[in-house]
Amino acid sequence: MAIRYLFTDWRRRRRAIRSYLRSRKAPAIPSGNENRDELPERPARALPKLPTRGERIRRITVWRKLRPLIRWHRRAPVGVVLGVYFGTLGLVSLLACLFFLLPFPQSKETLPPAPAGNGSVTLALGVSPRNALNQPASVPEATAILQQQADEAFRSGNFASAEKLYRQIFPKARLKALTGFHIFLCLLQQGKSAELKMMMEKIPSASIAKNPLCFYARAAVDLKAGRPEEAVAPLAAARSQFPEISLFYDEALREAGLPPPGH
């Protein structure tokens, strides 16, 4: 906007100056009259004014703001003027590149340790045991009550009731893999082979396992079939890879009536 007013004012001034110079030129001397003092003099033409008072105030304000800059342009060498403008532009471009390209450091937040020692600890599917144990507990009160009832039914051998309760809390469980293992043991003890087979297909293989569920599921099947010697290898692999969480799975096997070898 300021450049527009400056350009308009400059153009009007040039037009007024040309009109003024044309008005000051003497007319041609008629033939036979050599006395220039007797020629009529044309009055000087006044500079044009802007149509409104607001435009005049804006022109005066813009001129006062830009007058120091224009004066500096006229007095400073061309190299200095170009150096100032290009140097400022380069500095702004450098700061913009640093702002958008350089990564900002992120603050590291430490998670509070989960409370240890209650029977409601479960391991989430697809989560490593160390990270799962370090997650904060956020189990609703109703889910905790159902968890306690399911554990009591499981320990007492009422696997049908325990299965129903474990299935109710499974979607809301903070850590799901151990709850899934309890459901697996309930199906195994009830002899539901079709559901057991479907569940086995959903358990990740040992090559991509992030928790000991696949090892203990295979060992539970061997223990149920009366092959404790074949259960030794998967149990040993699970305890070596997941030593922090395997004790909960061993406890689940014992509570289900399938004590692991050597325990």
Q: How do residues 61-101 score in pLDDT, each as one tens digit?
A: 887 888 888 888 778 888 888 888 888 988 888 888 888 77
Q: What is the pLDDT of residue 120?
A: 36
Lowest mean pLDDT among 116-120, 153-157, 198-202: 116-120
**pLDDT band, very low/low/confident/very high, at 202 (cuts 50, 70, 90):** confident
Distance (Å, whole) CA 150 – CA 85 = 76
pLDDT tens figures, 93-115: 888 888 877 765 554 444 344 43
- pTM attached to this predicted model: 0.48
Give 112 or 9, the one with higher predicted confidence. 9
- pLDDT, position 133: 43
Residue 152 pLDDT: 92
Domain 129-255, what architecture? Answer: Alpha Horseshoe (1.25)
- What pLDDT score was predicted for residue 154? 92
- In whole angstroms, how far apart are CA 208 and each of 128, 129, 193, 216, 250? 11, 14, 25, 15, 21
Residue partners of 155: CB distance under 8 A and separation at least 6? 255
Q: How much is the pLDDT for 42?
A: 55
Return the pLDDT at 97. Answer: 84
d(C-alpha 77, C-alpha 122), whole Å: 78
Two tokens, residue 57: 């105030």
Q: Please tell me the predicted confidence (pLDDT) of residue 124.
A: 41
Which of 36-45, 46-55, 198-207, 226-235 comes out lowest in average pLDDT? 36-45
Q: Which residues of the chain are in CATH 1.25.40 domains?
A: 129-255
Give the pLDDT of residue 24.
65
